[in-house]
C-alpha cells in the first residue's frame, strides 16, 4: 500500500512538473517568425493590432510607403508605458517597411522614473534610424515633454501646453496631527541620508538641502536631454519650470516645437500618398471598469470646462 502511494505521488509530481514547464515554455514563446499582421508586418507581441488606412491618392503599389502612428495618453504613473514599449518593439522589428513613425502625445507628466522610461523607450526609435515625429494636441508638459524630446520634429496645436521643464516634489508633514492624538512616529535608518524629507519626521536643514540637491540632479538630467535633441534652446529661458502655449513658444523663439499643426491635419496630409497604419493594443476591460472609466473621464471633462 505504501509503495503504491509513493508511486502515485511520483506520478503526480512528474505530471505537475510537466504542466508547469509547458506553461512556462508557452509564456516565453512570445515571438513566432511566421506570425504576421494582415498587411504582412511581422508580429512580435500578441496584444498588438493594426488599423490601416490606404492612401487617398492613387499611386503605384510599389511606390506606396507605410507611416505608422500610435497614441499615448499619459497619467501621473505613465500607466501606458509597457504598452508603449511593446508598440516600439513592433515598429523596430518592421523598420525596413516603414517610412516614418508618429506619436500622438497627450500627457501632463508625472513620476520621474516612469516618464524616464518612456523617454528611453521612444529614444530607441531614433537610435534605430527611424524618422520620428510627435504631435501634441492638448498637453505635453514636464515628463510628457521629456518623452517627446527625441523626435526629429515636434508639431503642436496652437493652444497646446508645452514645456514645464522642472522637477516638483510635494510631501505634506502630518507629524503635528499625529501628535494631537498622542501618536509619536519614529523612523530608524542606517545611512545618513536614507530618509531625509518624509511625511512623519521633521527634516533638518541639512536633510532639506540634500533633498533639494537630489531634485536639482534630476533637473540637470532633463536639461541634458533637452540639449541633446534641441541644441538651440536657451536653457536659461526654458528650464524654469514654466509652461507655454505652443503658439506663444514659437513666437518667443524658444525652440520647443517646430510647427503649429493639429494631429488630425497632419495625419490627413500624410495619408494622401502613404498607408497610414495605427498600432494599438487589444484591451479587455470588464463592464464595471469600463463604466467607471467613462464616468471619471466625463467628470474630469466637466471640471476642466470651468477652468
- Residues 155 and 170 both lie in one domain: no
- Residues 246 and 112 both lie in one domain: yes
- Residues 287 and 182 both lie in one domain: no
Give me the number of domains the chain comprises: 2
Find out whether 106 and 74 touch, Cβ atoms under 8 Å.
yes
Q: Using 50, 70 and 90 to split pLDDT, how confident is the model at 42?
A: confident
Q: Using 50, 70 and 90 to split pLDDT, how confident is the model at 295?
A: low
Output the nine-digit C-alpha cell for 76: 501621473
Q: Is residue 17 part of a domain?
A: no
- Residues 156 and 223 both lie in one domain: no
Q: Is residue 280 part of a domain?
A: yes
- Residues 53 and 178 both lie in one domain: no
Q: Is residue 139 part of a domain?
A: yes
Find out whether 224 and 99 touch, Cβ atoms under 8 Å.
no
Q: Is residue 95 part of a domain?
A: yes
pTM of the model: 0.80
Question: Residue 68 pLDDT > 50, yes or no?
Answer: yes
Find out whether 165 and 238 touch, Cβ atoms under 8 Å.
yes
- Residues 82 and 206 both lie in one domain: no
- Residues 104 and 117 both lie in one domain: yes
Lowest mean pLDDT among 2-16, 56-70, 277-291: 2-16
Distance CA 164, CA 305 (A): 22
Q: Is residue 6 part of a domain?
A: no
Q: Is residue 58 part of a domain?
A: yes
- Residues 212 and 71 both lie in one domain: no
Q: Over the stretch 188-227, which tens digit does the pLDDT of each residue have? A: 889 888 888 888 888 899 999 999 999 999 999 999 999 9
Q: Which residues are within 8 A (CB) of 152 and not within 5 positions of it... i.e. 6 or more apart?
A: 126, 131, 132, 133
- Residues 81 and 128 both lie in one domain: yes
Q: 189 is in which domain, residue-wise?
A: 166-232
List residues with catalytic annotation. 142, 194
Q: Over the stretch 48-59, which tens digit does the pLDDT of each residue have? A: 889 999 999 877
Amino acid at each position: 500500500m505504501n509503495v503504491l502511494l509513493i508511486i502515485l505521488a511520483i506520478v503526480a509530481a512528474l505530471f505537475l512538473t510537466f504542466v508547469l514547464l509547458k506553461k512556462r515554455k508557452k509564456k516565453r514563446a512570445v515571438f513566432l517568425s511566421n506570425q504576421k499582421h494582415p498587411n504582412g508586418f511581422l508580429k512580435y507581441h500578441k496584444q498588438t493590432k493594426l488599423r490601416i488606412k490606404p492612401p487617398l491618392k492613387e499611386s503605384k503599389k510599389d511606390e506606396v510607403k507605410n507611416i505608422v502612428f500610435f497614441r499615448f495618453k499619459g497619467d501621473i504613473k505613465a500607466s501606458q508605458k509597457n504598452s508603449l514599449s511593446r508598440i516600439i518593439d513592433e515598429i523596430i522589428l518592421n523598420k525596413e517597411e516603414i517610412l516614418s513613425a508618429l506619436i500622438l502625445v497627450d500627457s501632463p507628466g508625472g513620476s520621474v522614473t516612469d516618464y524616464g522610461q518612456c523617454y528611453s523607450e521612444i529614444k530607441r526609435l531614433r537610435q534605430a534610424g527611424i524618422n520620428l515625429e510627435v504631435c501634441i494636441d492638448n498637453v505635453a508638459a514636464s515628463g510628457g515633454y521629456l518623452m517627446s524630446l527625441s523626435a526629429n520634429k515636434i508639431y503642436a496645436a496652437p493652444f497646446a501646453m508645452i514645456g514645464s521643464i522642472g522637477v516638483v516634489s510635494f510631501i505634506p508633514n502630518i507629524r503635528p496631527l499625529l501628535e494631537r492624538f498622542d501618536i509619536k512616529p519614529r523612523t530608524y535608518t542606517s545611512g545618513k541620508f536614507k530618509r531625509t524629507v518624509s511625511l512623519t519626521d521633521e527634516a533638518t536643514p541639512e536633510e532639506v538641502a540634500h533633498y533639494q540637491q537630489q531634485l536639482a540632479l534630476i533637473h540637470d538630467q532633463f536639461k541634458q536631454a533637452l540639449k541633446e535633441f534641441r541644441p538651440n534652446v536657451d536653457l536659461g529661458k526654458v528650464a524654469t519650470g514654466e509652461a507655454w502655449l505652443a503658439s506663444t513658444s514659437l513666437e518667443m523663439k524658444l525652440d520647443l516645437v517646430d510647427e503649429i499643426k493639429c494631429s488630425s491635419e497632419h495625419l490627413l496630409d500624410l495619408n494622401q500618398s502613404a498607408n497610414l497604419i495605427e498600432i494599438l493594443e487589444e484591451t479587455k476591460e470588464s463592464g464595471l471598469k469600463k463604466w467607471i472609466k467613462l464616468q471619471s473621464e466625463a467628470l474630469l471633462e466637466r471640471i476642466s470646462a470651468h477652468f
